[in-house]
Amino acid sequence: MTVDRTTSAGSQRVSAGDVALDGLFAGMIGALTVAVWFLILDVAQGRPLYTPALLGNVLLHGGSAAAQGVTIAPLEIAAYTAFHFVAFIGFGLVLSYLMTLFERFPIVGFVLLVLFACLQVGFVALDAALDAQLMGKLSHWTVVAANVLAATTMSLYLWKRHPGIKRSLDHLWDRE
Q: Which amino acid is at 13?
A: R
Mean pLDDT within 48-52? 93
Out of 8-12, 78-82, 162-166, least confident range: 8-12
State the pTM of this model: 0.81
Distance CA 33, CA 148 (A): 10
- 125, 130, 136, 142: CA torsion to nearest 10: -50
User: 151 pLDDT exceeds 70?
Assistant: yes
Query: Where is pLDDT greater, at 131 or 158?
Result: 158
The answer, yes or no, to whether residue 176 has pLDDT greater than 80, is no
Percent of all residues in the chain with a pLDDT value above 90, rounded to a whole number: 41
pLDDT at 10 over 60: no
Is pLDDT at 77 greater than 90 in this prediction? Answer: yes
Cα 83 from chain centre: 13
**Pick the residue with more confidence: 76 or 165?**
76
